[in-house]
Every structure is written in structure tokens, then in C-alpha cells.
Chains A and B, each alone.
Chain A
Amino acid sequence: KAGVTQTPRYLIKTRGQQVTLSCSPISGHRSVSWYQQTPGQGLQFLFEYFSETQRNKGNFPGRFSGRQFSNSRSEMNVSTLELGDSALYLCASSLDRLAGGVETQYFGPGTRLLVL
């Protein structure tokens, strides 16, 4: 079974631009979460989508947004990029939430964004 894939792997943008990152979950996984990883702040949760609905949200400004499509693929968008948005953006997928079940997250390789 193919793992989580993220595109592009590397991206260079300039301040003020916007960017869209894509994530394809493992087949059958309906939950997709996004994280930002930086050396200073570590791994920070951005948001989680399940069945095309945002289920959880972290403490990021409104410039960060996301969506999920009917095939569970997800995109995240960052508008008006700032230098501090330079980071590794990780996507993780998991199975449906089942009562009493454990939803292990499986991570993609990440998209490394550099804002100049």
C-alpha cells in the first residue's frame, strides 16, 4: 500500500506570495492532519480534516487554511507569506475515528518551504 505523499517536496517563495501544498493520504484513510515543523518551535499542529470537514484547528493565523476533497486528498494554503513561514510542512493520515479505536497517524515526507 502506498504511503502518504506530499507535493511538492521543496518550494521557494518570496514574501507576500501565497503557496498551496498538497497531500495524498494512504488509501482508505479519511483523516488528514497538517503540522508545521521548525527548529525553534518544534512540531506544531495546524489543522485536521475528516470527510471534507475541519475537525480540529491549531493556533495559527487565518493566513493558514486548508481543505479536503471527496477523495480525502487535502491541500493547505498559506497566503501573504512571511519569512517566519519557512518550515517543513508535514501531512499525516489516519483511519476513521472508531469508538475505542486507536488512530495511528502516518506521516508523509514533508514539503520544505523557504520564504525569501
Chain B
Amino acid sequence: GDSVTQMEGPVTLSEEAFLTINCTYTATGYPSLFWYVQYPGEGLQLLLKATKADDKGSNKGFEATYRKETTSFHLEKGSVQVSDSAVYFCALRATSGTYKYIFGTGTRLKVLA
């Protein structure tokens, strides 16, 4: 079945460091891909999305490119801030069949001043 695999955390970085959070997926067809962020005590917020191969989603300095050949959707940010500390979830939505959302296990990011 469809699945999403994220790198395990926690990831600890200093402010202004470069961030990469790896995400790979297994799915039939061409799923839509998402990154969500969850701040402490809150629900998930959509960070960015991509709907087809080679699409690049971007928001608030974060970027991710839909790579069909490597079935990946890695999240990157050039310079992280303390306020980026949160849990990041990679997700896919199948575009056929059950159309279910499948979420990764989440990666906790901690940014130190």
C-alpha cells in the first residue's frame, strides 16, 4: 500500500543553519505531496504542496521539489530561525482509489539561538 517515510528526529540546528528533512514515498500513480508543520499545542498547518512531477512548492522560505524518479519530496530551508522549531510532517494524497491521506511519522526540529 501507499506509504511515506521521513527521516527520524529530532533534528537540532543552530540559527541560520541549512535545513533538510528527507521524505520518500511509495504510491501507485501520481499522488499529491504535502508538508505540514505542527507547533506545540496546535493542530497541523499546511506548509507547502506539489501536485505533479518537478513541481516545487514553497512557503515562508521552505521549499520542496516533487521528484518522481527518486520518489522523494525533501523539505529544505536555507536559514532556519528559532521560530521554525516544530514538528514537520510529510504526507501524500492518492489521486485514485481511496484518495486517502497518508502521513509520515513526523520530524521534530529544534533550532538553537
What secondary structure prevails in chain A residues at the interface with B? strand
**When A and B form their complex, what is the total count of cross-chain residue pairs whose Cβ atoms lie within 8 Å?**
50
Cα–Cα distance between A90 and B91 once the two chains are bound (Å): 15
Q: Which residue from B43, B46, B98, B102 sits with its C-beta under 8 Å from A108? A: B43
- Taking CB atoms, residues of chain B closer than 8 Å to A106 are 46
Interfacial residues of chain A within 55-111, with CB under 8 A of chain B in the complex? 55-56, 90, 92, 97, 100, 102-110
Q: Is B88 an interface residue (CB 8 A)?
A: no
Check B51–A102 contact: CB distance below 8 A.
yes
Q: Could you tell me the distance in whole angstroms from the C-beta of A55 to the nearest C-beta in chain B? A: 8
Q: Could you tell me the distance in whole angstroms from the C-beta of A33 to the nearest C-beta in chain B? A: 7
- Taking CB atoms, residues of chain A closer than 8 Å to B32 are 102
Q: Is A43 an interface residue (CB 8 A)?
A: yes
Check A90–B106 contact: CB distance below 8 A.
no
What secondary structure prevails in chain B residues at the interface with A? strand
Check B101–A33 contact: CB distance below 8 A.
yes
How many A residues are at the interface, by size bracket? 20 to 34
Check A97–B99 contact: CB distance below 8 A.
yes
Provide the B53-97 mask, 1 if CB < 8 A to any CB of A, else 0: 000000000000000000000000000000000000100010100
- Taking CB atoms, residues of chain A closer than 8 Å to B104 are 42
Interfacial residues of chain B within 5-52, with CB under 8 A of chain A in the complex? 32, 34, 36, 42-46, 49, 51
Q: Could you tell me the distance in whole angstroms from the C-beta of B17 to the nearest C-beta in chain A? A: 26
With CB as the reference atom, state the residue of chain B lying closest to A31. B99
| Central interface residue in B44, B45, B51, by most chain A CB within 10 Å | B44
- Taking CB atoms, residues of chain A closer than 8 Å to B105 are 42-43
Q: Which residue from B51, B101, B106 sits with its C-beta under 8 Å from A105? A: B101
By a beta-carbon cutoff of 8 Å, the part of chain B in contact with chain A is 32, 34, 36, 42-46, 49, 51, 89, 93, 95, 98-106
By a beta-carbon cutoff of 8 Å, the part of chain A in contact with chain B is 4, 6, 33, 35, 42-43, 45, 48, 55-56, 90, 92, 97, 100, 102-110
Q: Give the top 4 A-B pairs by smallest Cβ distance, nearest first.
A: A107-B43, A107-B44, A42-B105, A43-B103
